[in-house]
Amino acid sequence: MSPVQITAGFNPLRLPSDRRLNRIAGPSGLIIFGVTGDLSRKKLMPAVYDLANRGLLPPGFALVGFARREWEDQDFAQVVHDAVKQYSRTPFDEDVWNQLATGIRFVQGEFDDAAAFGRLKETIDELDRDRGTMGNHAFYLSIPPKSFPQVTEQLRNSGLAEQKDGQWRRVVIEKPFGSDLVTARELNDVVESVFPPDSVFRIDHYLGKETVQNILALRFANQLYEPIWNANYVDHVQITMAEDVGVGGRAGYYDGIGAARDVIQNHLLQLLALTAMEEPVSFEASHLRAEKEKVLSAVRLPKDLAAHTARGQYSGGWAGGEKVIGFLDEEGMNPQSTTETYAAMRLDIDTRRWAGVPFYLRTGKRLGRRVTEIAVVFKRAPQYLFEESQTAALGQNALVIRVQPDEGVTIRFGSKVPGAGMQVRDVTMDFGYGHAFTEASPEAYERLILDVLLGDPPLFPRHEEVELSWKILDPIEEFWATQGQPEQYRPGTWGPASADDLMARDGRTWRRP
């Protein structure tokens, strides 16, 4: 009997009875606010097309754009067409496009224009009649967070958020989910006053990446790792998200936000939770969230924040063979800005599994290379059999989960060097998605948009997780606010010297990916 082949779109979090079949969204429509932005053009529109191209959307699927531009339906359709041609993952198919294009609509209006939301309701009602969307619609708020309250209120006042029997209405929110605990709670109160909690989907696109979900498979589908995934064997864990680019055109947004709020509060703390959580009862959303919330509740901040946190700003210099300007010289940047472009910190988790195991988180811009990884570094084995000279080149065993760009897993361990003597040094075994599977991984937004349409929320954090994350980060941000200007670091390096000092105090060093 030949092995069952798992087809494109298979989600390890969902096990259908026939694993050769994909789950296809039912009758539905997607309304995107902010369709003129980069996120919509580069990610959302191509993801919708790719889902259609893979046969995962219903024939009558509808895509509606809402923006202030004075466009007709055909103008918006051309914008979608151009975005799809440039950015879609799957090949362009004229038949697929023609089918999708028949359901594309556009509504012109401002967020404060009640009449525009009335026209949007008329458009949706027409789609229900003519396209068979059956009253099932998701509102994707690809807009600045300050506009969330206004748009959600308009959705309520116009009746667009109303869910009648047998229908659903959902809202999708992009990060950031607030700028601190207070604003996150205010945002949650506003959104959940209009939509039930189970109809609110907070998108963290990192959670849609194949390798992030593979953390669960790696840990819980294998006997090899879970028995040693604890303080008895693990020395420490490093979670890194590094970028080799600067803030560029995002200077206005980035100033006042910074690396910790932009990346650590959401992406890295979610990776920490998935790495450290206990085995859930099932992969149902409620069970996954419960275990992640336990981990985040158990996170303990270092007593000495000066010694165990670090922040920096990239200066001007050379990176990637070209001369680049410093953060404070970026266009639109306040030259006195104290916003960090690099952040690092030590966190501990007060549970039986992780007591005494530090988790080191770091993120930054203009670093040595673009990489996101989770490195589980193990304690050294007893070396009494070997002379010190024989293991001088042997480091600590490590399991490294590469989230991007070269998705896969690397295991570092010691092996004898060929020859007469007994010399042991580090070697690696590598698993890469591109080598092991012929099927290309879907983009994160493909998976997340499909999950919204299916009403399948395991990959979406609830407001409890968001608030717990802010409880972790807020004291660090408040401490940094008293510290003046961040330390400068050269582009192309791995951050400020204070970050290396943070590790050195614990007798450890950062990995150089």
More confident residue, 403 or 241: 241
Active-site option among 137, 267, 308, 463: 267
The residue type of 410 is T
Q: Please state which CATH number belongs to domain 29-174.
A: 3.40.50.720
Ranges 250-254, 296-300, 316-320, 388-392: which has the least confidence: 388-392
Q: Is the pLDDT of residue 177 over 50?
A: yes
* Binding-site residue ranges for NADP(+): 68, 110-111, 175
Measured between alpha carbons, how far is 352 from 372 in angstroms, rounded to an integer?
28
Q: Which residues of the chain does CATH 3.30.360.10 include?
A: 207-378+462-504
267 labelled catalytic: yes
Measured between alpha carbons, how far is 161 from 152 in angstroms, rounded to an integer?
8
Angle between helices 463-480 and 181-192 (to 10 degrees): 150
> Which residues have C-beta within 8 Å of that of residue 67, sequence separation ≥ 6?
33, 34, 35, 36, 106, 108, 109
State pLDDT tens for residues 34-82: 999 888 999 999 999 999 999 999 999 999 999 999 999 999 999 999 9
Topology (CATH) of 207-378+462-504: Dihydrodipicolinate Reductase; domain 2 (3.30.360)
pLDDT at 10: 35
pTM of the model: 0.88
Average pLDDT of 389-404? 82
Q: Which residues of the chain does CATH 3.40.50.720 include?
A: 29-174
pLDDT at 440: 66
Q: Is the pLDDT of residue 458 over 70?
A: no
Measured between alpha carbons, how far is 316 from 318 in angstroms, rounded to an integer?
7
The residue type of 203 is I
